[in-house]
Amino acid sequence: MRISDSMIAASIVAQIGRASTRLFQLQHQVASGLAFTRPSENPSGALRAAALRANISELTRYQANCDQAATPLRLIEVVLGDIGNALSQAREAALAMSPFDSAGNQALAGQVNQIARRIVGDANADSEGRYLFSGNEVLTPPVVENPLGIPPYIYQGDDGQSIVQLSRTIKLVTNVSAADVLNLGGATDPARDDALETLRKVEAALRAGDAEQIQDGLQDIQWHMDRALALRAETGTRMQQVELAKGRLNDGVPALRSLLSGVQDVDLAQAMIGLRSQEISYQAAAAAATSLHRASLLDYF
């Protein structure tokens, strides 16, 4: 069978087309750094890459949640520590009462009054305009003076919890209300005075030189100190959970990105070699086409 010019030309055109397509693919791989850009080029790889990207997005979101949880927990832990220290100072003032030093007792009473105001300031601590101890009412000051006078302060936040997701299975509460910290409204123990009412009674006992009332106040102050310490320890435990979760995420995200790179990124060195080889093939096919174009009748005699 005689091979006609048209058959040779068609073969060369097809070869040029294949070389051109492969050359374009390799050029695109080298330029983009990706082994494929359309799912049709590598269906299984595309599915694997999509799953990995979804996992990376999920873990990145949990990383942001960890950062979001760390700041309020850190601030709450500091404030609870200050409240505990303030209560300890009030206890020391009560212990220093002397039945023979009225002026000294008045000074101690003034000190307790200032400590109570300091605790109110702590309870109304905020971060970027959002109150830390108001539950979900973050724009409302949690502790305000009671217009009725007794107890001296009331809680006007709510008992809402701020919850963040640290993983698919771990959720963490990142707030605590001033009502729980100070037992306002009997939130923790209805049978016991809140911390600020306790300090008011201790102040009154110091001014009156009432030793019996001081003893009762000392017991209540100790209870509130223990409560603040327990909440501080609980907050510290939550901070540790956040740090552990963040550490796992910081290890997991790079690992997933490495796997994704292995699936979708091109081997640049290999692609460059393939590109050079394909350029040679394309040039050879083009040269063959040019040679065919120059053919004349003399070539067949």
Q: Which of 218, 185, 199, 175 is nearest to 79 (CA)?
A: 175
* Cβ proximity of 184 and 143 under 8 Å: yes
Residues 274 and 188 in one domain: no
Residues 6+ apart with CB under 8 A from 37: 28
* Cβ proximity of 172 and 198 under 8 Å: no
Say if 119 falls within a structural domain.
yes
Residues 89 and 47 in one domain: no
Could you list the residue range(s) of the whole structural domain that residue 25 is in?
Answer: 5-51+266-296
Say if 56 falls within a structural domain.
no
- Residues 144, 156: Cα–Cα separation, whole Å: 7
DSSP reduced 3-state for 62: helix
Residues 127 and 34 in one domain: no
Phi and psi dihedrals of 295, rounded to 5? -60, 145
Largest CA distance in the chain: 139
- What is the Cα 37 distance to its own chain's centre? 32
Say if 301 falls within a structural domain.
no
- Token readout for 61 is 């979101």
Residues 37 and 102 in one domain: no
pTM: 0.76
- Residues 124, 139: Cα–Cα separation, whole Å: 11
Residues 253 and 279 in one domain: no
How many CB atoms neighbour CB 47 within 10 A?
Answer: 12
Say if 17 falls within a structural domain.
yes
pLDDT per residue, tens digit, the chain (301 aa), is 555 556 655 665 565 556 556 655 555 555 555 655 667 667 887 788 888 889 999 999 999 999 999 999 999 999 999 999 999 999 999 999 998 899 999 999 999 999 999 999 999 999 989 999 999 999 999 999 999 888 999 999 999 999 999 999 999 999 999 999 999 999 999 999 999 999 999 999 999 999 999 999 999 999 999 999 999 999 999 999 999 999 999 999 989 888 877 776 554 555 555 556 655 555 666 665 566 555 554 444 4
- Count how many domains the chain has: 2
Residues 229 and 271 in one domain: no
Residues 156 and 285 in one domain: no
Residues 171 and 276 in one domain: no
DSSP reduced 3-state for 115: helix
- Token readout for 213 is 């009332």
Residue 246's identity, in one-letter code, is K
